Amino acid sequence: MVPREAWIAVYMMADRYRGTLYAGVTAQFITRITDHREGRGSGFTRRYGLTRLVWYEEHMLMTEAIQRETSIKRWPRQWKINLIERDNPRWDDLYAAVFEWTPVPKWTPNSPLTSPTSPETAPSAPGRGATGRPIGRGPDRR
- Domains of the chain are 4-99 (3.40.1440.10)
Please tell me the predicted confidence (pLDDT) of residue 96. 86
Please tell me the predicted confidence (pLDDT) of residue 97. 85
Please tell me the predicted confidence (pLDDT) of residue 85. 98
For residue 108, how many other CB atoms are within 10 A of its CB?
Answer: 6
**pTM, entire model:** 0.68
| CB contact at 8 A, 25 and 71 | no
| CB contact at 8 A, 23 and 69 | yes
Please tell me the predicted confidence (pLDDT) of residue 142. 39
Give pLDDT tens digits along the chain (142 positions).
455 567 899 999 999 999 999 999 999 999 999 999 999 988 999 999 999 999 999 999 999 999 999 999 999 999 999 999 999 999 999 998 887 754 455 555 555 544 444 444 434 433 333 333 443 334 443 3
| CB contact at 8 A, 66 and 25 | yes
Please tell me the predicted confidence (pLDDT) of residue 78. 98
Sheet holding 21-26, edge to edge: 21-26, 8-14, 52-59
Beta bridge partners of 13: 22, 53
Please tell me the predicted confidence (pLDDT) of residue 90. 97
Please tell me the predicted confidence (pLDDT) of residue 5. 60
